[in-house]
Structure 1
Amino acid sequence: MLIGELSRRSGVSERLLRYYERMELIHSERRANGYREYDDRTVDTVRRIRALLAAGLPTRIIRQALPCTFDEATLRPCPGVLTSLRDQLNVLDRRAADLEAACRLLRRTIAATENAAN
């Protein structure tokens, strides 16, 4: 299928599909006219990529984990993938803690500003 069809079937823009290809997440064959030709299975691959992105994974980890996917939420054991996933979870936990601290500070600032206005 051509990129337009892949875009329509996956719900992902052509621009983003080209990005996924540059990041080596999906692959195409080139026709003689230069058009990209994708396998039908690429639709499922794009869905897996979207699910992994939604889980907070960067493309470098997705590239590593993608060959290990059964479906959008299940991975089979692959060398190094579990370690990468745990490392990414630690990154997200730290970000969540930083955001929570920022929220607490903002709440205190709002409360102090409201009290000063009264």
Structure 2
Amino acid sequence: MRIGELARLTETQPRLLRYYEQQGLITPHRAANGYREYDDCLVERVLQIRGLLDAGLPTRIIRQILPCLDSPRTIHFADATAEIIATLESQSDRMTRRIDCLTRNRDAIQEYLSVVKRLA
């Protein structure tokens, strides 16, 4: 697929997709005419990247952990520094707090909808 289709499927601007490529987060193939060709599997990869960026992880750490997300039992993290470990622990804690908050908000909205639907 071309960059426009990947952008549409992931709701990501093409310039961000080129940035992800520049950062080594995704790797498109080049067609004979020089155009980027993106595999279908990159749709999920881009969504993972966006989620990790939204969670506050920098691209340098995302680049290191992306292979672990494809097959979590195979982890090759030879260059894990104390800083990376601390960052990942902090981000994991932050994600847990965010998940808890989102869960509470979802439950409150569902309860509200339940009441509204009964009254309607």
* TM-score, normalised via structure 1 length: 0.65
* Inter-partner Cα distance in structure 1 for 2:58 and 2:73: 19
2:66 alignment partner in structure 1: 66
1:48 alignment partner in structure 2: 48
CA RMSD of aligned residues (A): 2.8
Matched residue type, 2:6: L
* Inter-partner Cα distance in structure 2 for 1:27 and 1:9: 17
Which whole-Å deviations, capped at 9, do the CAs of 1:4-59 have from their partners, x for residues lacking one? 00000010000000000000000011111111001000000000001111111000
The answer to whether the aligner puts 1:16 opposite 2:10 as a matched pair is no
Question: Percent identity of the aligned residues?
Answer: 51
* Inter-partner Cα distance in structure 2 for 1:81 and 1:45: 24
* Inter-partner Cα distance in structure 2 for 1:77 and 1:51: 21
Matched residue type, 1:54: D
Deviates more, 1:50-59 or 1:81-90: 81-90
Q: 1:18 to 1:57 in 2, by over 3 A?
A: same
* TM-score, normalised via structure 2 length: 0.64
Unpaired stretches in structure 2, ≥5 consecutive residues: 95-120
The answer to whether the aligner puts 1:86 opposite 2:47 as a matched pair is no
